[in-house]
Amino acid sequence: MKVFMNFGKGFKITGKAMKLVLLLFIINLLFSLLLAIPMYNSLKDSFGQSEAGSRMAEGFDYIWWQEFRDEAEGLETTFSPSVIGKGAILNNLESLIQMRFFSLPPILIAFGLFYIILHVFLAGGILTILNQDVPKFSMKEFARGAGSHFFRFFVLMLFSWVFIISISVFLRDAFSSVLTNITSDSLSEVTPFYIRLAFSALTFVLLLFIQMVFDYARIKIVLDESRNVLKSALEALAFVLRHPFSTFGLFYLILLIQVAVTVIYILLKEIIPQSNFPWVLAGFLLQQIFIIAVIWVRCLLYSSQMEFYRYMK
């Protein structure tokens, strides 16, 4: 009951913060263009006047891609069949679980680190706006909250990454040893497949748990004006462990909404042909709607967790 009550409050608050959602969308779009424009220029130069561009519009030209891949450098090396459609979402999820980000080109790692730091900065502004009884967005208030909480949120991020990397490395090493033993005794690929699936699920759940704990740490810093970052993180962990059913229930309820939004997007994206400009434009607009929905759900998570923290305090 507490889960749905605070979810409802968070839903109502987020619905009144659409200017905030729009600002976050514009920032995300501008950031994406920093990568999209250089990639677009590289693809345009590669296609030239050949028919490869037309074939790519109809599907995926593997012959052209093999030639492009052999000559690719830096950001261009990330272009593959997996970045198109649902493959992009699944590929990013797999990279997160298996911590493959450090194998990316240096320019993409640099952009990734910049994006993470930007997200840390924005989180202070988001929580400051959502902390109002009736959210009224203003750039001055958003910037004030983002700036005043940035250092503490940045330290929290460093703490969280210590846990994330440590857990991922430990599980990866333990899993590799177990999988080697099982594979050597297995007569088929079925058992190793399910073992890998279980490992991925366990890793994903632990990463989500860490995210949830540090969400509450950020919320505590904003609501209580806490200056002690480590104490806030430990108290957030204690808060989650004191109310496991409600905190997990609220978190996974909103995660389920995120999954549903993603599935709907994938299904709609798959049925939109990319054979002419109007359909390409429709696909682009659908993608932007999906991104807005993702941002809105993230704000919904923050506002619902904030309401629950207030309620249980």
Average pLDDT over residues 269-297: 84
Q: Report how far residue 253's alpha carbon sits from residue 250's, in angstroms, rounded to the nearest whole number.
A: 5
pLDDT at 308: 95
Whether the CB-CB separation of 153 and 124 falls below 8 Å is answered with yes
pLDDT at 83: 57
pLDDT at 207: 85
Whether the CB-CB separation of 308 and 247 falls below 8 Å is answered with yes
Whether the CB-CB separation of 69 and 77 falls below 8 Å is answered with yes
pLDDT at 8: 94
Q: Report how far residue 269's alpha carbon sits from residue 258's, in angstroms, rounded to the nearest whole number.
A: 16
Over residues 132-157, the pLDDT tens digits come to 877 888 999 999 999 999 999 999 99
pLDDT at 58: 60
> At 56, is the pLDDT very low, low, confident or very high (cuts 50, 70, 90)?
low
* Residue 257: pLDDT over 90: yes
CA dihedral sign, ordered 264, 267, 272, 274: positive
> At 162, is the pLDDT very low, low, confident or very high (cuts 50, 70, 90)?
confident
Over residues 100-120, the pLDDT tens digits come to 556 666 777 778 788 889 999
> At 233, is the pLDDT very low, low, confident or very high (cuts 50, 70, 90)?
very high
> Is the model more confident about 266 or about 130?
130
> At 278, is the pLDDT very low, low, confident or very high (cuts 50, 70, 90)?
confident
Q: What is the mean pLDDT of the chain?
A: 81
Nearest CA-CA partner of 156 in 113, 117, 190: 117
> At 73, is the pLDDT very low, low, confident or very high (cuts 50, 70, 90)?
low
